[in-house]
């Protein structure tokens, strides 16, 4: 009989990404996965879970063979695995686009469209291969999302080769947009078992790894309890006891990452939450933004769109500011108008952005104050925690209002909610296990007393 | 099968008071519609500080604009009424009761039961604790060009109504309110009217006794009532036009019997989703409900088997559970006490005391504040109250935000998220207290095992 690991799983179905964390029976993290959220929530959850299982198997493999095979070989294997997954997705994308061309494109344009797409795909494949061959690129150094990696390459090549071949960029981009959604919305075979073989071949099947893989493949990852959380949690097909609010999960997750945490600020895409937790990570009080999304991640998204830059570029740009401009409104609806007005007044983009970041954090400060203030230690989570200008504004305002506080930001902060959910699952399992044998024992005890 | 028939009997019993209530309200609105022909004078007044016994003793009929507004909210009409008022220039920040009322008026003044509302013969403002009330009647005076009388009610800044304040209110009743009523009804405040007033005050006290018994039944486990969502139905008659009336007394007798029967049978209240006999959370609520999504809001609680055991909102037209009753032997004095004792006329320490008292007396697991955007009489200071109540009871509170009748301010997902998070937080703390370690997590060491 093959070995099995009893695990607890946490799934955080967020508005933009879905995360999964797997814990072993001791409550230690053994796997994590992330994917784009999509209209099909079940699938998003399934993909994140599968990714987490893959990372768990890699973890097992690493434990098993790292010493004999060496770290580099394993990193290389992981890269090969990612490559294999990406190529599979790319092939599927290609097939879907071909179908779409035959179905929806005017016959005169079909030939050039097919040719252009074939060329684009082979260029992307080359690029992927080059990435794999480059010795100093690591698997974890780039986005895990197929859409991010392949999407931008596709557009780049479409621009370059579309027109010369006779297929316009707009046509190619339209085909991509239509089909990428389908690639994301159908379950592809992207699991460990499906790709580890070809990945192994790609790195020359070193014997030291091959045996370990046997075990990593055959181990049963036995998910004894799953807890779901996040924005879309109500749509997870779980019974109610297995659903926890993201406020509780963020509290517990932040506590697990930084046990001395007493205050948590989470600024996500849709909402902002200020949470106070006790020494066990249990929430004692919280506040969240009202119905209006002003000051949340979504607001930064609008600003980025308005400025025609990526969201991740906003913070670094704001960091270049030398003269912060005071912005009062964090209203998402007015964001564009406010920005254009400032620009028309001749203000510099970085100064406006510095002001915007401060305005967002000011709103968060008011929620923090309402939830009970900022205690030592303080943990910042959510997508906005990766924005350096937001972090700087937060540090400054916390110091001004509460004095020195330790501010924790984990590089893995995106997994905070899923980790909290997994810990709740783990706790449920432990409680169940503790309850089961306790009862007869208790009764026996009582009987003794009676006697 | 006996189970089911029992359930049916309860439904039927519940129906009796509801039927009564529906009947009396319908009759009242019909009577109001006929008032221009019958010549019955009509007095507009507000729920807090309403002087129904006095109005009725003069043979006049009360109209309560807030009740019309909240009814419009419940019937899905408020959105249009509010837009209408905003089109007329009333800002988005004005209390939505006002805009809903003005919008209704401008759309033909058809009341909640579909009958036309009569014009007022008198605007009687008998509680000045809310500034909006004054502005509201100023707007109505503009519209109807009718006499207006303002009863100035001093705020209980230091936690009680002083003797001078009481005298001051009584003096105004004698010197301004009564003469104004005399003028519009053409009747003198003589012995006959005074006797009628006293008779009505006695009726009021009787209904108040029954109401208090109903509300206090929630101390029982399981609670036979929901003291917020159900409670707003229970206070309907006494806070609107029926305090000091025979119908009012009959309604509360019937209601009390029903509730006592339910309590004796160990039954919970009937919610929109069926009976709530299994009650996992007992909550105290501060602040008015949202009316536009009333059922949905209630379901968010009943879905979690949460029952509200006490609420301050059900005291908005009179705080009776700390002993005050209308006293027929001192008509003016008792009306002064009543007006000065309005819930929103209480200072923050008194409101905090009240919440703490409810949490303790009703053995609540938690408390929740619904902070409505419209009403500063309620909302100002609520967060401070929350912190203070938490400190004194050791029980965490929840804070949600919505509005009275403006549907644009009800974000179901946001409210649901907060409420669920709160209830799970109560759970987690229970588990923690029970020694489950509260989910500190495996990485923080193994949990204690027996
Ligand atoms: S502000 Fe509050 S008390 Fe005043 S009229 Fe509006 S709801 Fe009533």
Domain extents in chain B: 3-448
Of A28, A288, A438, the CB nearest to B443: A28
Quick one: pLDDT at residue A447?
Answer: 33
What single DSSP character describes residue B345? Answer: G
Regarding whether A163 and A276 lie in a shared domain, the answer is no
> Do residue A27 and residue A90 come from a single domain?
yes
| Distance in angstroms between the alpha carbons of the first and the last residue of chain A | 46
Write phi, then psi, for B260 (nearest 5 degrees): -65, -35
pLDDT reading at A28 higher than 60 = yes
Structure tokens at B335: 């009306």
Q: Does residue B342 line the site of ligand 1, with CB under 6 A? A: no
Structural tokens at position A17:
């990404």
Answer whether B182's CB lies under 8 Å from B189's CB.
Answer: yes
pTM greater than the 0.90 cutoff: no
Cβ of residue B162 closer than 8 Å to a chain A Cβ: no
In this predicted structure, the answer to whether residue A143 has a pLDDT above a threshold of 80 is no
One domain, residues A163 and A104: yes
Q: Contact A245/B411, CB-based, under 8 Å?
A: no
Q: Do residue A290 and residue A341 come from a single domain?
A: yes
Give residue B450's pLDDT band: very low, low, confident or very high (50, 70, 90): very low
Give the Cα separation of B99 and B83 in Å (integer): 8
| DSSP string of B347-390, one letter each residue | -HHHHHHHHHHHHHHTT-SEEEEEEESS-HHHHTTHHHHHHHHH
A chain contacts of residue B411, beta-carbon cutoff 8 Å: 290-291
Average pLDDT of the segment spanning A329-350: 78
CA of B151 to the centre of ligand 1 (A): 16
pLDDT at A197: 87
A50 close to B (CB below 8 A): no
Judge whether A321 and A291 are in contact, CB under 8 Å.
Answer: no
Banded pLDDT at B439 (limits 50, 70, 90):
very low
Residue nearest to atom 7 of ligand 1 (CA): B375
Q: What is the mean pLDDT of chain A?
A: 85
Q: Which residue of A has its CA nearest to B381?
A: A370
pLDDT band at residue B257 under the 50/70/90 scheme: very high
**Predicted confidence (pLDDT) at residue B400 exceeds the cutoff of 70:** yes
Interface ipTM = 0.74
Q: Residue A182 in 3-state DSSP? A: helix
Residue A435 domain-assigned?
Answer: no
Are A182 and A274 within one domain?
Answer: no
pLDDT of residue A252: 96
Does A258 contact chain B (CB < 8 Å)?
A: no
State the pLDDT at residue A393.
Answer: 93
Residue A227 sits at φ, ψ, to 5 deg, of -120, 135
- Which B residues in the span 69-98 are in contact with A, Cβ-Cβ below 8 Å? none
pLDDT value, residue B375: 92
For chain B, say whether A278 makes contact (Cβ under 8 Å). Answer: yes
Share of chain B above pLDDT 70, in %: 93
The least confident of A167-176, A251-260, B248-257, B348-357 is A167-176
Task: Assign B413 a pLDDT band (cuts: 50, 70, 90).
Answer: confident
Mean pLDDT (whole number) for B289-298: 96
Q: Is residue A199 located within the same domain as residue A267?
A: no
Report pLDDT for A291: 62
Q: Is B426 in the pocket of ligand 1 (CB under 6 A)?
A: no
Residue A239 lies in a domain: no
Q: A370 phi and psi, to 5 degrees?
A: -65, -30
pLDDT for res A183: 85
According to the model, what pLDDT value does residue A144 have? 66
Proportion of chain A above pLDDT 90, given as a percent: 35
d(CA A76, CA A79): 5
Best of B443, B446, B449 to disrupt the A interface (most A CBs within 10 Å) is B443
Give pLDDT, residue A115.
92
**pLDDT in the model for residue B258:** 95
- Residue A315 carries which DSSP code? H
pLDDT tens digits for range A257-288: 999 999 999 998 778 999 999 999 999 999 98
Please tell me whether residues A159 and A71 are part of one structural domain. yes
Angstroms from A292 CA to nearest CA on chain B: 9
Kindly determine whether residue A434 and residue B414, on different chains, have CB atoms separated by under 8 Å.
no
Distance, in Å, from the CA atom of A380 to the CA atom of A409, rounded to the nearest integer, reads 5
Supply A420's token pair: 């909290």
Q: What is the pLDDT of residue B6?
A: 38
Residue count (chain A): 451
From CA B344, how far away is CA A333, in angstroms rounded? 35
Q: Cβ of A124: how many Cβ atoms within 10 Å? A: 22
- Residues A401, A352: one domain? yes
A384 near A318, Cβ under 8 Å? no
Q: Does the Cβ of B97 fall within 6 Å of ligand 1? A: yes
Q: Is B100 in the pocket of ligand 1 (CB under 6 A)?
A: no
- The answer to whether residue B368 scores a pLDDT higher than 70 is yes
Reply yes or no on whether the pLDDT at A70 is more than 70. Answer: yes
- Choose between B444 and A417: higher pLDDT: A417
Q: Among A248, A412, A256, which Cα is nearest to B444's? A: A256
CB A250 within 8 A of CB A417: yes
CB A352 within 8 A of CB A323: no
Does B401 touch chain A if contact means CB atoms closer than 8 Å? Answer: yes
**B432:A282 CB<8 A:** yes
CA distances from B366 to B28, B306, B362, B419 (A): 39, 10, 11, 11
Among candidate residues A246, A309, A236, A304, the one with its CA nearest the CA of residue A272: A246
Strand runs (DSSP E) across B210-339, as ranges?
270-271, 274-275, 281-286, 306-311
In total, how many domains does chain A have? 2
Per-residue pLDDT reduced to its tens digit, A182-221: 888 777 777 888 888 888 888 888 888 888 888 888 888 8
State in Å, rounded, how far the first CA of chain B is from the last one.
44
Pick the residue of B387, B424, B441, B447 with the most A CBs within 10 A to test the interface with A by mutation.
B441
pLDDT confidence bin for A58, thresholds 50/70/90: confident
In angstroms, the Cα distances linking A314 to A309, A352, A354 are: 8, 11, 9
Instruction: Give SS3 for A6.
Output: strand
- Judged by CB atoms closer than 8 Å, whether chains meet at B443 and A27 is answered as yes
Q: How far is A321 from chain B (nearest CA, A)?
A: 35
What pLDDT score does B132 carry? 92
- Lowest mean pLDDT: which of A30-34, A240-244, A250-254, B165-169? A240-244
Q: Is residue A339 part of a domain?
A: yes
Confidence of residue A360 (pLDDT cuts 50, 70, 90): confident
DSSP run (H or E) holding B67: helix B65-74
Same domain, A279 and A190: no
Same domain, A117 and A198: yes
d(CA A304, CA A389): 14
Is A291 within 8 Å of B440 when comparing Cβ atoms? no
User: Which of A228, A243, A273 represents a domain boundary (last residue)?
Assistant: A228
Does A436 reside within a domain?
Answer: no
B379 ligand 1 Cβ < 6 A:
no
How far is the C-alpha of A292 from the C-alpha of A294, rounded, in Å?
6
Residue B75 falls in which region: left (phi positive, over 0), alpha (psi -120 to 50) or beta: alpha
Q: Give DSSP secondary structure letters for B101-131.
A: HHHHHHTT-B-TTSPBPPPPSEEEE---SSH
A404 exposed, middle or buried (CB, 10 Å; 0-12, 13-18, 19+)?
exposed
How is residue B162 written in tokens?
């002083």
- Which residue of A252, A289, A438 is in closest CB contact with B441? A252
Share of chain B above pLDDT 90, in %: 85
Kindly determine whether residue A434 and residue B429, on different chains, have CB atoms separated by under 8 Å: no
Most B CBs within 10 Å: which of A8, A27, A446, as the mutation test of the B interface?
A: A27
pLDDT of residue B4 exceeding 70, the answer is no
Query: Helix, strand, or coil here: B240?
Result: coil
Instruction: Name the helix (H) or strand (E) containing A129.
Output: helix A107-133
Give the pLDDT band of residue A142 (cuts 50, 70, 90). low
Does one domain contain both A298 and A382?
Answer: yes
Cβ A370–B383 below 8 Å, yes or no?
A: yes
Same domain, A84 and A183: yes
pLDDT on residue A330: 66
Give the CA-trace dihedral at B263, B268, B271, B273, to 10 degrees: -150
Measured CA to CA, the distance from residue B66 to residue B232 in angstroms comes to 13
- What's the domain range around A127? 4-228
**Is B421 close to A247, i.e. CB distance below 8 A?**
yes
Mean pLDDT of A324-348: 78
Task: Indicate the pLDDT class of residue B449, thresholds 50, 70 and 90.
Answer: very low
CATH of the domain at A384: 3.30.420.40
Phi, psi of B263 (to 5 degrees): -65, -45
Cβ-defined contact of A288 to B418 (cutoff 8 Å):
yes
At A374-404, the pLDDT tens digits run 999 999 998 889 899 999 999 999 999 999 9
């Amino acid at each position: 009989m093959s070995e099995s690991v009893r695990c607890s799983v946490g799934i955080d179905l967020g508005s933009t990404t879905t995360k999964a964390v797997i814990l072993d029976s001791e409550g230690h993290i053994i796997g994590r996965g992330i994917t784009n959220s999509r209209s099909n929530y079940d699938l998003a959850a399934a993909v994140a879970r599968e990714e987490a299982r893959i990372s768990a198997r890699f973890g097992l493999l690493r434990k098993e063979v790292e010493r004999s095979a060496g770290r580099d070989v394993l990193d290389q294997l992981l890269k090969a695995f990612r490559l294999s997954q990406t190529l599979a997705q790319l092939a599927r994308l290609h097939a879907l686009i071909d179908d779409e061309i035959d179905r929806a494109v005017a016959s005169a344009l079909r030939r050039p469209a097919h040719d252009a797409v074939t060329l684009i795909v082979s260029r992307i494949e080359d690029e992927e291969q080059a990435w794999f061959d480059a010795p100093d690129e690591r698997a974890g150094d780039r986005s895990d999302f197929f859409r991010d990696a392949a999407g931008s390459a596709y557009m780049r090549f479409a621009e370059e080769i579309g027109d010369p071949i006779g297929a316009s960029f707009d046509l190619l981009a339209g085909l991509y947009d239509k089909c990428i959604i389908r690639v994301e919305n159908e379950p592809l075979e992207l699991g460990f078992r499906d790709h580890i073989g070809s990945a192994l071949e790609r790195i020359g099947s070193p014997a030291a790894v091959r045996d370990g893989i046997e075990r990593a493949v055959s181990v049963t990852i036995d998910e004894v309890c799953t807890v779901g959380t996040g924005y879309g949690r109500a749509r997870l097909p779980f019974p109610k006891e297995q659903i926890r609010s993201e406020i509780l999960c963020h509290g517990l997750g932040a506590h697990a990452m930084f046990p001395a945490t007493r205050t948590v600020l989470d600024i996500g895409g849709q909402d902002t939450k200020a949470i106070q937790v006790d020494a066990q990570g249990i929430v004692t009080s919280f506040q969240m933004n009202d119905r209006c999304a002003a000051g949340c991640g979504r607001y930064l998204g609008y600003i980025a769109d308005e400025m025609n830059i990526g969201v991740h570029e906003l913070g670094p740009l704001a960091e270049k500011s030398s003269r912060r401009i005071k912005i009062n409104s964090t209203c998402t609806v007015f964001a564009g108008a406010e920005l254009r007005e400032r620009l028309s007044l001749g203000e510099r983009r970085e100064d406006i952005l510095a002001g915007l970041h401060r305005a967002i954090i000011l709103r968060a400060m008011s929620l923090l104050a309402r939830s009970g203030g900022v205690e030592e230690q303080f943990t910042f989570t959510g997508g906005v925690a990766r924005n350096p200008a937001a972090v700087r504004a937060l540090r400054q305002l916390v110091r001004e209002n509460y004095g020195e506080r330790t501010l924790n930001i984990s590089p893995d902060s995106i997994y905070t909610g899923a980790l909290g959910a997994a810990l709740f699952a783990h706790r449920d399992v432990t409680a169940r296990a503790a309850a089961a044998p306790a009862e007869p024992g208790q009764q026996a005890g009582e009987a003794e007393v009676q006697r | 099968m006996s189970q089911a028939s029992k359930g049916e009997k309860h439904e039927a019993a519940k129906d009796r008071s509801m039927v009564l209530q529906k009947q009396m309200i319908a009759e009242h609105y019909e009577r109001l519609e006929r008032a221009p022909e019958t010549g019955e004078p009509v007095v507009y007044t507000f729920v807090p500080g309403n002087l129904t016994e006095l109005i009725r003793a003069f043979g006049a009929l009360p109209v309560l604009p807030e009740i019309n507004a909240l009814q419009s909210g419940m019937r899905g009409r408020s959105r249009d009424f509010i837009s209408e008022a905003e089109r007329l220039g009333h800002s988005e920040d004005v209390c939505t009761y006002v805009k809903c009322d003005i919008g209704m008026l401008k759309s033909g003044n058809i009341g909640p039961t579909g009958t036309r509302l009569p014009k007022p013969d008198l605007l009687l403002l008998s509680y000045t604790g809310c500034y909006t009330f004054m502005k509201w009647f100023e707007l109505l005076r503009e519209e109807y060009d009718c006499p207006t009388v303002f009863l100035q009610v001093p705020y209980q800044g230091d936690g009680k109504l002083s003797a001078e304040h009481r005298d001051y209110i009584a003096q105004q009743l004698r010197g301004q309110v009564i003469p104004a009523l005399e003028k519009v009804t053409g009747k003198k405040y003589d012995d006959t009217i005074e006797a009628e007033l006293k008779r009505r005050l006695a009726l009021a006290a009787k209904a108040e006794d029954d109401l208090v018994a109903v509300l206090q039944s929630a101390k029982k486990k399981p609670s036979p009532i929901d003291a917020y969502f159900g409670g707003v139905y229970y206070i309907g008659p006494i806070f609107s036009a029926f305090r000091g009336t025979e119908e009012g007394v009959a309604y509360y007798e019937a209601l009390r019997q029903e509730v006592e029967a339910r309590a004796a049978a160990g039954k919970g209240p009937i919610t929109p989703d069926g009976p709530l006999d299994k009650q996992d959370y007992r909550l105290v609520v501060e602040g008015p409900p949202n009316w536009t999504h009333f059922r949905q809001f209630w379901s968010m609680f009943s879905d979690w088997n949460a029952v509200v055991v006490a609420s301050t909102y059900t005291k908005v037209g009179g705080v009776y559970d700390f002993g005050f009753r209308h006293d027929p032997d001192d008509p003016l004095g008792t009306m002064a006490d009543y007006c000065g004792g309005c819930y929103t006329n209480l200072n923050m320490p008194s409101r905090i005391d009240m919440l703490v008292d409810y949490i303790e007396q009703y053995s609540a697991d938690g408390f929740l504040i619904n902070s409505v955007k419209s009403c500063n009489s309620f909302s100002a200071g609520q967060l401070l109250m929350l912190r203070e109540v938490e400190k004194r009871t050791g029980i965490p509170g929840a804070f949600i935000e919505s509005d009275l009748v403006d549907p644009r301010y009800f974000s179901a997902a946001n409210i649901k998220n907060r409420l669920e998070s709160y209830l799970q937080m109560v759970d987690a703390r229970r588990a923690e207290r029970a020694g489950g370690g509260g989910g500190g997590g495996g990485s923080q060491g193994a949990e204690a095992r027996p």
